[in-house]
Amino acid sequence: MILFAYFALGIIVYFLSSIDKEYKFSKHKAKCIYCKKEVEYESIYCPYCNEKLKKRCETCGRLIEINWRYCPFCRDDKNKNY
C-alpha cells in the first residue's frame, strides 16, 4: 500500500512539474500580427514573413509593439502612425 502511495505521488509530481515547464515556455511566445504564426516574444522581425513586429519609442528608446499608439513605459504619444 505504501509503495502505491509513493507511485501515485511520483506521478502527481511529474505532471505538476511538466505543466509548470509548459507554462514557462508558452508565456515567452507571441503571435505575428501579419502571418499569425508563433514567434518569440522578443522578436523584432517575424522569422516566417519578415514583417517588423516591434519598433523603438521615439522618446525613451524602448522596444514596443509596432501597432501600439502610445508607449507604455513613458506614455509618449509620438509613436502614433497617422
Angle ∠(39,43,44) on CA atoms, nearest 5: 130
Residue whose entry in the numeric block shows the C-alpha cell 508565456: 27
Grid cell of 39 as nine digits: 514567434
Instruction: Give the pLDDT score at 65.
Output: 87
pTM tops 0.85: no
Instruction: Give the pLDDT score at 80.
Output: 62
pLDDT category of residue 81 using cuts at 50, 70 and 90: low
Instruction: Give the pLDDT score at 47.
Output: 95
Grid cell of 10 as nine digits: 511520483
Task: State pLDDT tens for residues 14-62.
Answer: 776 665 444 444 557 888 989 999 999 888 999 999 999 999 888 898 9
